Amino acid sequence: MIISEQKPFESMLKIIQNGSVFIIGCNECAALCHVGGEPEVLELKNQFIESHINVTGWIVLDPACHLLNNKRLFKSVNKEIDDADHLLVLSCGNGVQVIEELYPQKHIISGTNTLFVGAEIQRGIFERQCNLCGSCIVDDFEGLCPISHCPKQMLNGPCGGSMDGKCEINKDFNCIWDKIIHKKIKMKKIDSLTKIIPPKDWTSYKKYQWRDQYKL
Amino acid sequence: MKQNHFAVTSEIGPPKSADGSIITEKADLLRYCTDACNITDNQTAVVRLSSLAGSVLLKQKNIESIYQISCRDRNRIALQSDILGAIALGINNILFVTGDHQSVGNHPHAKGVFDIDSIQLVSIAKAMRDEGIFQNGEPLKKRFSNLFIGAVSNPFATPYEYRVDRLEKKIMAGADFIQTQSVFNIDHFQNFMDEVISRGLDKKVFILAGVTPMKSEKMMDRMKFYVPGVDIPDEVYNRLKNADDFQMESKKVSYEIINSLKKMKGVHGIHITALFWESIIPPLVEQCGFLPRH
């Protein structure tokens, strides 16, 4: 899922100033990250009211990035949206931009910072997994990904700064290559450790990056 | 090295300024006691005078340079372009490294490139030289052959069991010579070399073992506790810590390490990195019996 964090309340307040606001949440990733589900939307609504901000209404989409479903759900809150100066979106950047497509005349405020694609490994603890590079190569690395987990995106083994399973840039950060090597040893695939992996082809990344739409 | 001479190289870190005289002054100090000098490429991700420019400054003084290129700041287009530029300028020894991550340097907010890694860069350089092709398969308009490809190896990083594999990969990719991380732990390095020799890798590449005379206790502490991939055994650490004259003892330690390396099978030379203490290199090299060099 897409992991995001909520921006500080003060920063949202600064943008809204004396205007009115309609709050939009998301029932998928943002809800799982506890930044844009119903409890968070209602809590934020109360905070705004306490700060004398006019909240014209709220909705939790399912999910915010589902444009067609959004159109249907928004029918019930058309007036509240019309009355608002700002639409505050508590979803990932994906959802925020889908809302912008639906309401190009409205001022959109993103209430979150979108951080990464990952998984919740314990309640409230998220682990980054995929960099969305466009051409998955994890089958060469026993399901582990050096593109998203190695800060230098090394494809041919750990750099000289790998020490006791930790990355040179941060001792709290595991070296993915240490993990790959030990997994390959365990799976008796050590021959593949001496295979030279050629430079990665980034064209598929760009293919998806630099087009407005893509038909799957 | 091809004539079985024991090579001695050293290292010059370019200044954080456009003052080229800093490089040439250090080079004057080292010219008679080393065979070639590495010019580092924004080492530890700190902005410095460019390593290609530094290599040209050495060339102008008729000193053999080893031009270092890192993958941190350039993509495959710029890296191949710099290889061509270096050859055109008469810089023929190039050492390819992946590079320290930008987050450890003085511009931690920079976006790193890391389009390719050092092994891929070595194989690209080899293909440019030996097959006359770029990474995309297109031919060079005119071929060149005068490129001596270098790479690095750190026997002291983990997982230890993988370090010879990685060296082997660098050799397969096309490395002609290897400079290693500084050796303080001779026993560990000997184990590494035993494996290198058992695979016959010392016959396929020239290996220059790293030596670092440490200038001060502060520097030793930093290297032992904060620089990843450096292994200063407690025995060496305590010996220097308890020395009456740190620098004299440090020189002695380097002398003993060099003597061990000199006798070690498969080691074709040494690479001395005396950070902020280049003046120690001439007397150290002389004491080790490596003079005259030319």
Q: What is the mean pLDDT of chain B?
A: 96
* Res. B177 pLDDT band, cuts 50 70 90: very high
Tally of domains within chain B = 1
Does residue B2 lie in a domain region? no
A164 contacts B114? CB cut-off 8 A: no
Look at residue A210 and tell me whether its pLDDT is greater than 80.
no
Does residue B213 lie in a domain region? yes
The predicted structure's pLDDT at residue B275: 86
Section A191-200 average pLDDT = 94
Q: Which tokens hold the place of A73? A: 């759900």
Q: Which tokens hold the place of A63? A: 């999910």
Q: Which tokens hold the place of A185? A: 């040893």
Give the contacts of B130 (CB within 8 A, at least 6 positions apart). B174
**pLDDT tens digits for range B142-167:** 999 999 999 999 999 999 989 999 99
Section A157-184 average pLDDT = 94
Look at residue B140 and tell me whether its pLDDT is greater than 90.
yes
* Res. A99 pLDDT band, cuts 50 70 90: very high
Does residue B292 lie in a domain region? no
Q: What is the mean pLDDT of chain A?
A: 94
The predicted structure's pLDDT at residue B23: 96
Looking at the predicted complex, does its ipTM rise above 0.85? yes
Q: Is the pTM of this model over 0.95?
A: no
**pLDDT tens digits for range A31-48:** 999 999 999 999 999 999
The predicted structure's pLDDT at residue B154: 97
Does residue B35 lie in a domain region? yes
User: Which of 3.40.50.2300, 3.90.226.10, 3.30.460.20, 3.30.70.640 is the CATH number of A2-116?
Assistant: 3.40.50.2300
**pLDDT tens digits for range B163-172:** 999 999 999 9
Section A175-184 average pLDDT = 97
* Buried/exposed code over A23-57 (b: 16+ C-beta within 10 A; e: otherwise): bbbbbbbbbbbebbbeebbeebbeebeeeebebbb
Q: Which tokens hold the place of A198? A: 């050629």
Shortest CA gap B144–chain A (Å):
23
Q: What are phi and psi of B200, to 5 degrees?
A: 75, 15
The DSSP 8-state label assigned to residue B63 in this structure reads -
Section B105-124 average pLDDT = 97
Q: Which residues from B are below 8 Å from A166, CB to CB?
A: 228
The predicted structure's pLDDT at residue A119: 93
Does residue B293 lie in a domain region? no
- Cα dihedral sign, A203-A208-A209-A215: positive
Report the CATH number that the domain containing residue B159 is assigned in CATH: 3.20.20.220
The predicted structure's pLDDT at residue B152: 98
Q: What are phi and psi of A5, to 5 degrees?
A: -125, 155
Give the contacts of B272 (CB within 8 A, at least 6 positions apart). B8, B9, B10, B11, B34, B210, B211, B212, B213, B254, B281, B284, B285
Contact B69, B41 (CB under 8 A): yes
Looking at chain B, the whole-number percentage of residues with pLDDT higher than 70 is: 100
Of B249, B233, B239, B236, nearest to B188 by C-alpha is B233
Look at residue A209 and tell me whether its pLDDT is greater than 80.
no
> Nearest chain A Cα to B161, which residue?
A181
What does the CA dihedral A88, A92, A97, A100 come to, rounded to 10 degrees?
Answer: -20
**pLDDT tens digits for range B42-71:** 999 999 999 999 999 999 999 999 999 999
* Res. A77 pLDDT band, cuts 50 70 90: very high
Residue A89, H or E segment = strand A86-90
* Identity of the residue numbered A164: D
Distance of alpha carbon A189 from alpha carbon B235, whole angstroms: 38
Domain with CATH 3.40.50.2300 in chain A: 2-116
- Name every residue in B having a CB less than 8 A away from some CB of A: 71-72, 76, 98-101, 103-104, 112, 114-120, 123-124, 135, 152-154, 157-159, 161-162, 165-166, 168-169, 172-173, 181, 228-229
The predicted structure's pLDDT at residue A170: 87
CB of A203 less than 8 A from some CB of B: no
The predicted structure's pLDDT at residue A214: 73
Section B5-23 average pLDDT = 96
**pLDDT tens digits for range A62-76:** 999 999 999 999 999
B229 contacts A161? CB cut-off 8 A: yes
B169 contacts A156? CB cut-off 8 A: yes
Q: What are phi and psi of B171, to 5 degrees?
A: -70, -45
The predicted structure's pLDDT at residue A26: 98
Look at residue A203 and tell me whether its pLDDT is greater than 90.
no
Look at residue A148 and tell me whether its pLDDT is greater than 90.
yes
